[in-house]
Chain A
C-alpha cells in the first residue's frame, strides 16, 4: 500500500519522515491527521531528536497491524477465531509465529539504558501510544521493584518531607505487616 508521508519535527528542529499508517499508532497523531490539520510538518515540542527515531521505529512496527498487537495482550489467543466454523490451522500457526516474532522484537527494542527509558515513556504518554507506554512503564516498574525508599528518592529526585520520627514510625508499621499479603 502506498502511503502518505507525514513529517514530524522534534523539539530541536530536526525533521523526520513517517508513513501515515505508522503514524496512526499514535492517538495524538491520528487525531491531528483525522482532524485535517496536516499542514506540512507536525511539530512535537516535547520530543527530542534522540527519542523521536526510537518512537518512529515502534510506530513502523505497530502501525497498521493492530490485530497482532492485540493478540499479545490476550496472551496470543484470538477468541474470535474459535467461533469460526472453518478454523484454519495453517493460518493460526502463521499467526503464532508472527506474534512470537513481535515479542522477540519488543524484547530487543526495549534493550536500552535508563536514560532513554524515561524519555521514551514521556514521549509515548504525550503521543498516546498505548503499547509503547505499557512497555516502558512495565520496565520502569520492574526496575524500581527491589529498591529501598532512599534509592527511590535518588532516582526520582524526591526529597523526603517526613521527619525522621515519622519515617521510623512508618517503617515500624511496615514490619508489623511483614507477612504475605492476599492481594499481592
Chain B
C-alpha cells in the first residue's frame, strides 16, 4: 500500500474540503449522522448550512437515520394551549416517565384535558391537532423545533379529519382538512362536506382558505 505522498500539500487538501462542502449530497450524508444538538450549533456556520439543515429533504434523511438506531419509542402530543410535550418510553422498562419539555413556557402537560395523539410523521414533519372550539393545527418540525400554527377555517365544523402530505415536485407540504359542515345524521340526503387546503412551503404557510369547498352528494 502506497503511503499518501508527502508532496500533497495543504492547499490541495483544503481545496478538496471545499469540493466536499459544496457537494450537497455529501454534506447531507455527513450532517445527517450528527445529533440535533450538534446541528443546532452548526446552523450558524453559514446561510447555506442553515438552509440545508432546515430543508425538508434533510429533515427526513436525518430523522430516518436517527429513528433507525433507536430502541426508544417517542410519544408526542399537543395540549389545548398549543404546547407540545414529548415523552420517551424505554422498551425495556414499561414506563420511563421522562417528559422532555420542548417549549420553555410549557405548563404541566399531564394535567391538561386536551391531549391528542400525533399523526404519523410526514417526510419529517408532524401534524398535531387541537380540538378546542378555536382549535388549530400545528405543523411541527422536530429537527429544527420550529412550529407553525395553521388556523382552522371560519366555517362551523362538526367533525373533521386532517392529513399532511408532501409534494416532492414543488417541495411543499399540503395540509388537507376535511370536515362535516352539518350534523347530517338521520337524513337520507347525505352529508355536507367541506375541504380546506393549506400549503406549507419553504417560505412559510399560505393558507388558501377556503381554497376549495364542495358538498359531496
Contacts and interface: CB of A to CB of B under 8 A. Distances in A.
Interface of A: 50, 53-54, 57, 112-116, 118-119, 121-122, 125, 133, 137-138, 140-141, 144-145, 148-149, 152-153, 155-162, 166-167, 170-171, 173-174, 176-184
A54 B3 CA distance: 9
A95 to B, nearest CB: 24
A174 B86 CA distance: 19
A140 B30 contact: yes
Q: Which of B2, B5, B13, B20 has the most CB of A within 10 A?
A: B20
B38 A145 contact: yes
Contacts of B45: 149, 152-153, 158, 160
Contacts of A145: 34-35, 38
B104 interface: yes
A157 B1 CA distance: 30
Interface in B19-59: 19-21, 23, 25-26, 29-31, 33-38, 40-50
A54 B1 contact: yes
The bracket for how many chain B residues form the interface is 35 or more
A184 B13 contact: no
B67 A183 contact: yes
B60 to A, nearest CB: 12
Nearest to A52: B2
B30 A137 contact: yes
A144 B36 contact: no
Contacts of A54: 1-2
B4 A182 contact: no
Nearest to A138: B33
A114 B8 CA distance: 12
Contacts of B143: 183
Contacts of A140: 20, 30
B50 to A, nearest CB: 8
